[in-house]
Structure 1
């Protein structure tokens, strides 16, 4: 004969199961039954040590030495109005709000990433322009210095060429005088004139030798040496800077 109490509990469980299926509860909740899967006996005891409901056979086989045993009915009574139920509900609400806040924060950051990237690109371009402008300036400075130096040296050479032309004319004049002396003057006049010409020629030779010596020592009047700072700039500077990011938290499943 069927126990009426068991029949009522069975019907109640089936009714709750149908209602739960209608609410689409999670499978792990739907799989919780009133009876032990192993012994097919009704749960009557709750083991606090192992945190599981037990039937009478479970107690004999696996929980005989457990001390924290309590009636299951006492533990499940008024569970939906208990502090534990309220606390887990409150914790879930807080978790949901925190997740929503974090999501909103990350969405805002995602929107600002492109703006930040644009600003960084502008800074890089401005840095490049600053470097270019500075290099253009110091290049113009060295070119101006080169032009001024070349002009100054050219003027000095032109002055020297003019002086040499004068000396050349003087020597030509002396050569003409020598020919005139040979043809038209007396020996005494020739003797005295030659002495005077020797002195003049000696002075001109000394001047010419000094000019030749200087010219031989200064074959290349213009030279250029690259600044060590520029050389280091080419070899040492390998980057405009560094791009840093603060890694976002990735939740594990």
Structure 2
């Protein structure tokens, strides 16, 4: 099976999987910790979350989108014994057998190569677990990962990557193409599809703001025709709250 077909097959399987909240996956990690206790490990296993689970932990993926089907970890393959423990938890918690996986590595066998590509940084989580050392990717790390993923979304069939990227930009207060280019430069034009999608998104946002401004201006002008008390107009009374400056206009 070639990589493209295999990727689409995995994606289709995950799309049909039961979606879980961050709290439900926290419970799964607790159950896994208990299973790992039986193995008498020399040291805790590493879990470096970089997908939807990390986005939920940062409060980026919220509301109706606050779910995922797995925890993506940027780590090497686990031992067969640890993998079996993961599967046992899946049976207990009603999860997919690969609810904890490193599929995001793709063809790369070395997580450090992918980390270098993302310029990855990690935030250790104080979980109290004895056998699991959990870290989540920083917001900039997640953003760089989603830029790369969104660039190939048309071919991979992944529908969450671009919405995740836009949510990450909103989370960071990035509101223009210029801000995006400054924070996440693509000097060699490696990700043109992602850059184009972000540019079109901000263009639409700008157009929407202009239309709201036009509507607000028309309403304010019309209202002024009916307000001529004490030669003073309350600007904020007529302008939409979202764009009303905090001052008054006085007619001379």
TM-score interval, normalised by the smaller of the two chains:
under 0.3
**Bigger relative contact order, structure 1 or 2 (CA pairs below 8 A, ≥6 apart):** 2
Structure with more of its chain in strand, by fraction: 2
For normalisation by structure 2, the TM-score amounts to 0.24
For normalisation by structure 1, the TM-score amounts to 0.24
